[in-house]
Amino acid sequence: MHKVQKSELKFITENEFKLIFSSAKDTRQPIRNQLIIMMLYRHGLRESELINITMDNLILDQSKIKINRIKGGVSNVHPMEGDELRLMKRYLRERDSSLKWLFLSEQKTQMHRNSIAYIVKSCVNLAKLDKNISPHMLRHGCGYHLVNKNVNLRVIQDYLGHKDIKNTARYTSLDSGKFEGLFG
């Protein structure tokens, strides 16, 4: 198996995220599914990181969430923007607050990573995107989004939980337009 080269890294754009997020409103559990799509993209979460979020990870009075990274990544606390916080509160009102896991299956158990992949695929299909999009592509989309917003690479490294800056640096190789106006 060969390592993924920079040019092979698959990701979604911000516009694709908006289409996928919007299409989640047409699913069986629209609030939960919109929150799942938003959190995968905004926090650069892997499926396993998402499904392992517990109610104890939420710090709602400070509009924050503790992200526990896997693969030896660095865990940290992320802010939740207003729209995400409002969606989170709507979701929490409709679920049993005594249960440990944030995201629950219809059987009221912890969701499985395959369920996350299914939700993403369903939303992509509803959005009529002619692209095979996996949940991990939302994580990569987060990295590219932050680079394109000129966020410092060290900040992105911490945000995505990368131990090695090389894993973060791959997001800088995409936009040739970033060279425009460097000397003028």
- In tens digits, the chain (184 residues) has pLDDT values of 445 444 467 899 999 999 999 999 999 999 999 999 999 999 999 999 999 999 999 999 999 999 999 988 889 999 999 999 999 999 999 988 789 999 999 899 999 999 999 999 999 999 999 889 999 999 999 999 999 899 999 999 999 999 999 988 888 875 556 666 667 6
Q: Residue 28 corresponds to which tokens in the numbers above?
A: 């069986």
Task: Give pLDDT, residue 7.
Answer: 47
3-state secondary structure of 165: helix
**Are residues 165 and 135 in contact, defined by beta-carbon separation less than 8 angstroms?**
no
Q: Residue 112 corresponds to which tokens in the numbers above?
A: 């499985």
Q: What is the pTM (predicted TM-score) of this model?
A: 0.89
Q: Residue 102 corresponds to which tokens in the numbers above?
A: 């944030």
Which backbone phi and psi does 110 adopt, to 5 degrees?
-60, 135
Task: Give pLDDT, residue 106.
Answer: 86
Which backbone phi and psi does 55 adopt, to 5 degrees?
-60, -30
Looking at domain 8-174, its CATH superfamily turns out to be: Intergrase catalytic core (1.10.443.10)
Helix (H) or strand (E) holding 2: none
Domain boundaries, the chain: 8-174
Task: Give pLDDT, residue 178.
Answer: 62
Task: Give pLDDT, residue 175.
Answer: 57
Task: Give pLDDT, residue 18.
Answer: 97
